[in-house]
A and B are shown apart, each in its own frame.
Chain A
């Protein structure tokens, strides 16, 4: 199966493409809708996938940013993302990949500990965002933030490139909140 590489295709003119990977189809769809509602100078493309690898035949544009969405209420969702990660080229992790954890608010429902995902993101040196996607307001702000990151990844913000992102958005391996 093919490995996804960031630079194996020519960029489209003024287009920025994001790939959302996760098992929560409905939430991903809603997040995609919110992103497309954002007012943005670049032309946005949002691709959704349950898991990687992607079918090799499809004719798809260059992917500028991959966001792995993990639902903390489901272990399956985490396992799925972990398996998908194998099909991504290492260069993606130079600023073109991010993790998004949903459901951290309701701690009692969590079957995946917050620290697990923090560690995972840390291992892949990629930023981690927390957001309860089920709530519309939170989703909208998250969509806005993702669009900004995507524009940087696509090279549409002068003076900043995706390579800057790991150092800017780095979340240090924080101690578990219980220890606070």
Chain B
């Protein structure tokens, strides 16, 4: 009874809609969230003071060891757009190409591109009040513009499903169409190696790379996957394509993206390996393919991922060493293998 009362009290205190406009799911654990947030709030406050000091004076964001340490501990929401823009090179691109974004939107439009994007408009965050048709202001138009401009800017990629979720988050964080466009360019064009092009070779490569990393670091899980002939793409494609959007809690995703913009795509492997390692015993209970798939969904839920601050500390300790050189080597090997398979 007491715990039911606490749960109800938490339900009354915690808003139904989160700070980003997402409605909390039906089964949201309000009590657990409130408990986590009371601790996290203190961290947020401390970080906010530190960041204000670091960024005072309004100078550009310069990459440094201090900045890297700060970013790993979380960028406060009010500075997030500026920091992402700075460390990803998006700001520099935007400054060097004034008027380019508007020019893209004013040019001639590709019908099939428009159609593909339009199909996903009502299917991007229907659970977010700001993206819902009829909301005021409605971010669907902004999203449409960003994706359309990007499709014309990067014709080799055009529009790939999944980019709608990336652009959606960028819009929620930056509240700026043009900045979202340049950040999307940083992600799709530079940070993620060839994930979204029609061949999706980079995506397939990285899924294989994860498989190889698991084989080295968590051989029992690799053996389980092998014994069922299960391909990694089946369980992790959404992790890679959506960069954990709609897989992990919003706050956790943003903390991951803080590091992704600063440190690059390696972070995705760190997150994936941490999730798998933490829940290795649970995964190994699986006895069939659907069972494994279910476990891989299950490991993206619960307090381990909601408690984003601890989670982010774990991604840098749990998977152990993950050098850039070894990732590059693995990518090369996996890519060659995929190409040989045709």
Note whether A and B form a binding pair: no
| Interface of A toward B, CB cutoff 8 Å | none
| Interface of B toward A, CB cutoff 8 Å | none
